[in-house]
Structure 1
Amino acid sequence: MKKIIVLVFAFYSFYSCDHVSNDEEYEKINWKERIATRKASDSLEVGKSYLSVYSQIYSYSQHKTYNLTAMVSMRNTSATDSLYLFKVDYYDTHGELLKTYFDQPVFVRPMETLDIVINEVDIAGGTGGNFIFDWKTPIGASEPVFEGVMTSTSGQQGLSFVTQAKRLD
């Protein structure tokens, strides 16, 4: 009996090491360190892009859903100029604003990529979540690329797919 109790305790200890709290939100990007300072005289091209992301997809029927991790990738494709993000908003399936990521414009260095991760347990976005990006680049600079990568693994099965943003203006 003593061996069983020790075995159960050891198993529980190993399991608890890998467990991540559902309430824990890890913010990978320190947005405050990225606040952009630009002169009013700088000429910038204005852009707005829409990206669909999926916290859940339907499986078997419309009554069964499968949770996904969503990674939103914001890529500056210019080798010489910074990208400026003025607003990044995350909406759910019903069009309700879930989160605005920062209050002041931020920069993305040349050829840099920033990622926002929506954890698999965070299903607030639902089956029709989306992002709106308000951005600016120096005139003549290449446009940014916004992509979503959705993944999930369970046992020996894995699922992944990519979405690409559409420019709105």
Structure 2
Amino acid sequence: MPVYSHISHGNLDGRSKPSELLLSSMLSLRNADPSHPITIRAARYYDTDGKMLRDYLTKPLTLAPMGSSELFVEHRDKSGGSGANFVVEWTSDRPVNPPVIETVNAYFFGTQSVAFTSPGRPISPNP
């Protein structure tokens, strides 16, 4: 699940670096099954180098049928960098529709605003 702590923009400065815009990110977790709950077991946050920074869940989170929840990365938290990721683990005791998991990355200050979504996609667990 891509997360953008900041995005580069503008022109390169004297050190050949672009300007950076810090963003907040909301991880949206949505159970897309109308009949059965799912359990979110982990929501691990990784930085650009692939180092796990923290697990946002201290205990499993059950989402009711069609229920949702969100986790939030603050605007001032740039520890993840431009290539940050969430890895979300979920389970169900029966076959269900897969959840909809995405981030909403945003910046709203004064007259400037930027907002965009990043869709998640399944990855294989480590053996």
Question: So what's the TM-score if we normalise by structure 2?
Answer: 0.86
Residues 1:85 and 2:35 are matched in the alignment: no
For residues 116 and 58 of structure 2, the distance between their equivalents in structure 1, rounded to whole angstroms, comes to 30
Identity %: 28
Which ranges of structure 2 fall in alignment gaps of 5 or more residues? none
Bigger Rg over Cα:
1
For residues 106 and 154 of structure 1, the distance between their equivalents in structure 2, rounded to whole angstroms, comes to 32
1:85-131 deviations in whole A, cap 9, x for unaligned?
12210001111111112354331111111111111111111101100
1:41-66 deviations in whole A, cap 9, x for unaligned?
xxxxxxxxxx0010100022444211
For residues 65 and 125 of structure 1, the distance between their equivalents in structure 2, rounded to whole angstroms, comes to 14
In the other structure, the counterpart of 1:55 is 5
- Of the three residues 71, 74, 85, the one matched with 1:116 is 71
Aligned length: 119
For residues 103 and 113 of structure 1, the distance between their equivalents in structure 2, rounded to whole angstroms, comes to 17
For residues 69 and 151 of structure 1, the distance between their equivalents in structure 2, rounded to whole angstroms, comes to 5
For residues 114 and 52 of structure 1, the distance between their equivalents in structure 2, rounded to whole angstroms, comes to 18
In the other structure, the counterpart of 1:69 is 24
For residues 67 and 53 of structure 2, the distance between their equivalents in structure 1, rounded to whole angstroms, comes to 26
1:136-166 deviations in whole A, cap 9, x for unaligned?
1243311111010011023212101100001
Q: Which 4+ stretches in 1 moved above 6 angstroms?
A: none
| Partner secondary structure for residue 161 of structure 1 | strand
For residues 102 and 70 of structure 1, the distance between their equivalents in structure 2, rounded to whole angstroms, comes to 16
Which ranges of structure 1 fall in alignment gaps of 5 or more residues? 1-50
In the other structure, the counterpart of 1:156 is 111
Q: Over aligned residues, Cα RMSD in angstroms?
A: 1.4
1:19-52 deviations in whole A, cap 9, x for unaligned?
xxxxxxxxxxxxxxxxxxxxxxxxxxxxxxxx00
In the other structure, the counterpart of 1:23 is none
Question: So what's the TM-score if we normalise by structure 1?
Answer: 0.66
For residues 159 and 103 of structure 1, the distance between their equivalents in structure 2, rounded to whole angstroms, comes to 31
In the other structure, the counterpart of 1:36 is none
Q: Point out the structure with the larger helix share.
A: 1
In the other structure, the counterpart of 1:165 is 120
